[in-house]
Structure 1
């Protein structure tokens, strides 16, 4: 047996012992959910978002969401650098009638659905990440039908940069006001209404635009 396999086996055994030790300390059948219960009790009044998940993602752990956006940006940038080498070539021909017609019909529908998911993320399941993927799909379908009409890299970079700056700017505004980073600003409004949850819908809009721009650019690179 090689040293590499021995090291792998020792690591697996050590990890197993660690997990068993942690599991042995947990009470069976009565797992305490102190943090979850506290969030469920306090989030509607503190944040004003009907979707408790949004309160967690953008308010209670907003700094983690910023890290996720940074990871997505780094991954999209790295993939773009790898795929956008000098040897790549663009497709200039248009697709067939069916794909072009389908793309024209789906484009406004996907945009509407994408922005709906983004803007209602504080009310229903969804939000900036899911809505951003739908927005990216709208532009990707259009690019597949008409490769020559691909949006310029400068436009995509501008949208991505402004959206990221807006997300961080809202967080810094909360700090300047004496609160925590990304602490909800503005009036919480009425729970369950579209205009509620303070600045959380603005944060999700920034997330949706940033995710949509990054994925749209990445998918366009893959299509080439």
Structure 2
């Protein structure tokens, strides 16, 4: 009976996919929402990067939800990974090659991460991508030398202040315009660093929050010592 049920389910699924495929006009996608974003995002928000305009402008409230989910996931993982065994030992340093490579990569990753966060409204990337690169910069240093530690209290302050800044900008927009996270401030000239209103501020807040959360989580991973066998 189980085989028959699986066969019936597979046949029904195949029939459904065939019906859906027959209704699609192949080669002529009906991109109504995307086409509207492409048409109005530049003039309305002044951002050259349409993806950032959508995430921090039109879908700003949804982005706040994503940040909340990331915070909950990082907090839960930190609670699980934050305890060490009594018989655990710390891994030795990674050696000359790994240490030298980490020392070389750290400033490069730091500069690239900051650049992507700050230029999120101009070039591909933004707060999420830049924040991950910033977290990776510190994690590479921890991998090369496990004796190093990150200040979790400082990371917590950065993460909290960045999240509060994101919400305060949204509340400011709610008071001024009547809509939460509506972009404010003059748009400026598209393509310049100081442009797109409050979108760069939101991108920086996202980058700091994501970077601090992931750096703290990765630091917990590095601090979790393996048992001595």
| Bin of the TM-score, shorter chain as denominator length | 0.7 to 0.9
Distance 1:93 1:62 in 2: 44
| TM-score where L is the length of structure 2 | 0.85
Q: Which residue of 1 aligns with 2:118?
A: 119
Query: Structure 1 residues 147 and 174 mapped into 2: Cα distance closer, same or farther (>3 Å)?
Result: same
Corresponding residue for 2:149? 150
1:102 equivalent in structure 2: 101
1:66-81 equivalence runs, <5 A: 66-81=64-79
5 Å-filtered alignment, 1:3-42, equals: 6=5, 22-42=20-40
Matches within 5 A, 1:1-224: 1=1, 6=5, 22-87=20-85, 89=88, 91=90, 93-223=92-222, 224=224
Give the alignment's TM-score, normalised by structure 1.
Answer: 0.87
Larger deviation: 107-116 or 144-153? 144-153
Structure 2: segments with no counterpart, 5+ residues: 225-229
**Structure 1: unaligned runs, 5 residues or longer:** none
RMSD across aligned positions (CA): 2.5
* Structure-2 change in CA distance of 1:87 and 1:117 (3 Å): same
How many residue pairs get aligned? The number is: 222
